[in-house]
Chain A
Amino acid sequence: MASIAEHLRNRAWGARALALRLESASLLALDRHAGTDTWQCPAADEFFLTVVDFQHRLLGAADDLRWEALRLEQQAEEQEATDAAAAAVGFVGAR
């Protein structure tokens, strides 16, 4: 059975993997195909701005995921320290 620290590290890994996936989204290249050589009209302008906004939101979400991963890893470290301390106390007690 995985320890709490391992569980937290797995979740951090999952968050980082998701961040990487978001950064490879094809949405991030969509603006290259939405320029004036494709179409020109108010809707085209709005679409371009919408796509750029979505790209920023996607990259922002990836950043947030990395912060969450970092937070989970810090919790894992704290948990490992707690576990180590508890193990040491148990060892002394057993002696």
Chain B
Amino acid sequence: MPLRPRSDSSGQGEMGADWIGYHPVRVARLARLTGEAISFLDETRSSDPVVQSAMLTLREISHALSTTWVPLLVRIGADSSLLAWASRPPGPMGWTATQIAGVAAVLVPPVAGGADAVATWWGGLTDADRAELIDERPHLIGNTDGIPAETRNAANRIQMAADLGALELKESVGTITPAEAQVLANIRRAQAALASNDGHADPITGDAVGGQLYIYDPTAFGGDGRIAIALGELDTAEHVAVTVSGLGSDASTLGSGQSQAIYFEARHASGDSVAVLNWTGYDAPTFRMTGSTAPNMFDEGVDVAGVVNQGAARAGAALLAADVAGINAMRAGNNPHLTVVGNSYGSTVAAIAADENDLEADDLVLTGSPGAGDADTAADFTTGTEHTWAGSASSDLVTYLGEQPGWEPQDAMADLVPGVEQLGDDPSEESFNAQRFHAESIGRDGGDAPGNTDDHGYYFEADSESLFNIGAIVGGEYDLVVAAEHRNQQPFFEPELDWDWTPFGDVHPFPDDPEADRAPTSMTHRVPEL
């Protein structure tokens, strides 16, 4: 007798899309082996043009396996409710229908067809089936595109509570492993950020906005975690922003301040409903020395040298594009105005997604960018020149790491330090043709460009130029954005004709930034109370 869908009570159905029989341990092993196969493909590199066709094949295979199959295998492998089945030995031809009868029919989302197929499947379930999935197998739907955000939130909170209970029990009796302790720290951080959003008051109405646990996988990326928490309602908000953080970000650094700051300005700028998703959904380089928890790239240059390249950004870009597409699929017919805000290395991730992964965003904001991937101009992005925005403080050293015509400091660094690769063009350069906005740090030290690293951390500061403009863009109020003059690169070497002064001429390693001559201002869309 063939296995039948659980929801098919007629007995007439053939092998449908929503049943499964499996051996949990073996599926978990298959997930691990598939992950190893992907790593092998990703680590295979060559820049020779004659092998590019082969490299493209590898990339396509890797992408298909990592975006479609690994998440499903991991979800199924983690389902411990069917461990009873694992205790039965398989026959010589594998597990028979008789062996798995009674435990094999489990509702799982369809694999083929993407978020649209999942949405159709979800819509066809009975209320009882949905409730059972949320309560009994939340891990099967909590991170699945096509499921409504509020449902994912409910499922993920149930899963988080279960994980928290299990790990805190281990912690209390002293049997928790270091890896589990890291996962527990991730969960506690996510819980705190979520609680902060849950209690956050809307700046206009004063009502509680509420948080949503949209992606929850605290064990992903070797324990760094993959988590996304929203402020506001992703299912209904008129404006949705997805923020992508940079170096050193992982589940243990999750916060709510940035989301709340963007929400505040976007709400005041537009008056419309807003949701901000803090997407810690990729494996950002973290630069932790052994025994250290400090994610300081500048203090840990040796580690940085080993990992600063586009590899992690490229892998993250595919995940970002898939998750953004998932939001749009979820909102099909009622699509929000969607902005992706990438900060620092996160801007490189977002730029690559817009250049190479068909990022489905209406607007793209790149702040504190060390480089915009392989794109030559904003016209290469899905958001085009009109809707690609760059915020670079003249005193932010990191924003000068991008390539400039005639001078590529990261190329120079790459020549010196193996493993370092340029991260792309500076998006605030005139030749890049993005919309540059005022983003000077309120408390900048007043030094000459390229300045310092401190001013790399103030793009989301309250009442700052940068946050003001990000809020206007996220809120779709483009007329409120205050445009900045672009940077201009002079020739790297300019022969000096005044031989009395120097026989060598002038060297311009960094571009001229007109913003350095302007005094920073304090700005907000909030209307002062009379």
Q: Which of B349-386 contact A (CB under 8 A)?
A: none
Question: Are the C-beta atoms of A68 and B57 separated by less than 8 Å?
Answer: no
| Nearest neighbor of A36 in chain B, beta-carbon distance | B94
Question: Are the C-beta atoms of B33 and A39 separated by less than 8 Å?
Answer: no
Q: Is B208 an interface residue (CB 8 A)?
A: no
CA distance in complex: A22, B43 (Å): 11
Question: Are the C-beta atoms of A37 and B44 separated by less than 8 Å?
Answer: no
Q: Is B498 an interface residue (CB 8 A)?
A: no
Question: Are the C-beta atoms of B40 and A15 separated by less than 8 Å?
Answer: no
Q: A39-B76, A50-B64 are known contacts. Are A30 and B33 too (CB-CB below 8 A)?
A: yes
Question: Are the C-beta atoms of A33 and B30 separated by less than 8 Å?
Answer: yes
Binary contact readout B18-61 vs A (1 if CB under 8 angstroms, 0 otherwise): 01111100110110011011001100101010110110011001
Question: Are the C-beta atoms of B48 and A14 separated by less than 8 Å?
Answer: yes
CA distance in complex: A18, B45 (Å): 9
What chain A residues lie within 8 Å of B58 (beta carbons)? 22, 58, 61
Question: Are the C-beta atoms of B53 and A64 separated by less than 8 Å?
Answer: yes
Binary contact readout A38-58 vs B (1 if CB under 8 angstroms, 0 otherwise): 111111101100100010011
Binary contact readout A54-95 vs B (1 if CB under 8 angstroms, 0 otherwise): 100110111011001000100000000000000000000000
Question: Are the C-beta atoms of A40 and B22 separated by less than 8 Å?
Answer: yes
A28 to chain B: closest CB distance in Å? 9
Q: Is B161 an interface residue (CB 8 A)?
A: no
The residue from A15, A18, A22, A42 contacting B17, defined by CB atoms under 8 A apart: A42
Question: Are the C-beta atoms of A22 and B20 separated by less than 8 Å?
Answer: no
B15 to chain A: closest CB distance in Å? 6
Q: Is B284 an interface residue (CB 8 A)?
A: no
What count of chain A residues pass the 8 Å CB interface test?
36
Q: Is B90 an interface residue (CB 8 A)?
A: yes
Binary contact readout A20-35 vs B (1 if CB under 8 angstroms, 0 otherwise): 0110011101100111
Question: Are the C-beta atoms of A68 and B17 separated by less than 8 Å?
Answer: no
Q: A37-B95, A40-B20, A61-B58 are known contacts. Are A30 and B37 too (CB-CB below 8 A)?
A: yes
What chain B residues lie within 8 Å of A62 (beta carbons)? 54
Question: Are the C-beta atoms of B72 and A43 separated by less than 8 Å?
Answer: yes
Chain B residues touching A, range: 35 or more
What chain A residues lie within 8 Å of B26 (beta carbons)? 33, 37-39
| Nearest neighbor of B23 in chain A, beta-carbon distance | A38
Question: Are the C-beta atoms of A43 and B23 separated by less than 8 Å?
Answer: no
Q: Which of B133-167 contact A (CB under 8 A)?
A: none
CA distance in complex: A38, B26 (Å): 5
Q: Which of A1-24 contact B (CB under 8 A)?
A: 11, 14-15, 18, 21-22
Question: Are the C-beta atoms of A18 and B72 separated by less than 8 Å?
Answer: no
What chain B residues lie within 8 Å of A61 (beta carbons)? 53-54, 57-58
Question: Are the C-beta atoms of A42 and B57 separated by less than 8 Å?
Answer: no
A48 to chain B: closest CB distance in Å? 11
| Nearest neighbor of B110 in chain A, beta-carbon distance | A43
What chain B residues lie within 8 Å of A68 (beta carbons)? 50-51
Question: Are the C-beta atoms of B48 and A41 separated by less than 8 Å?
Answer: no
Q: A39-B20, A41-B21 are known contacts. Are A33 and B54 too (CB-CB below 8 A)?
A: no
| Nearest neighbor of B28 in chain A, beta-carbon distance | A38
Question: Are the C-beta atoms of B41 and A46 separated by less than 8 Å?
Answer: no
B141 to chain A: closest CB distance in Å? 15
What chain B residues lie within 8 Å of A15 (beta carbons)? 48, 50-51
The CB with the most chain B CB atoms within 10 A, among A29, A33, A40, is that of A40
Q: A26-B37, A36-B93 are known contacts. Are A41 and B53 too (CB-CB below 8 A)?
A: no
Q: Is B123 an interface residue (CB 8 A)?
A: no
What chain A residues lie within 8 Å of B492 (beta carbons)? none
Question: Are the C-beta atoms of A64 and B37 separated by less than 8 Å?
Answer: no
Question: Are the C-beta atoms of B100 and A42 separated by less than 8 Å?
Answer: no
| Nearest neighbor of A41 in chain B, beta-carbon distance | B20
Q: Is B329 an interface residue (CB 8 A)?
A: no
CA distance in complex: A14, B277 (Å): 44
Q: Is B121 an interface residue (CB 8 A)?
A: no
16 new A-B pairs (CB below 8 Å) besides A40-B94, A41-B20, A54-B61?
A15-B50, A18-B46, A25-B40, A26-B37, A38-B27, A41-B22, A41-B108, A42-B17, A43-B72, A47-B111, A50-B69, A54-B64, A57-B61, A61-B54, A61-B57, A64-B53
Query: B residues engaging A (CB < 8 A)?
Result: 3, 15-17, 19-23, 26-27, 29-30, 33-34, 36-37, 40-41, 44, 46, 48, 50-51, 53-54, 57-58, 61, 64-65, 69, 72, 76, 90, 93-95, 100, 104, 108, 110-112
A-B complex: 9 closest residue pairs judged by Cβ atoms: A39-B22, A37-B94, A36-B94, A41-B20, A61-B54, A38-B26, A27-B37, A43-B111, A40-B21
Q: What would 15 A/B residue contacts be, using CB atoms closer than 8 Å?
A: A11-B50, A14-B48, A14-B51, A25-B37, A29-B33, A33-B30, A36-B93, A36-B95, A39-B27, A40-B104, A43-B112, A54-B61, A54-B64, A61-B53, A64-B54
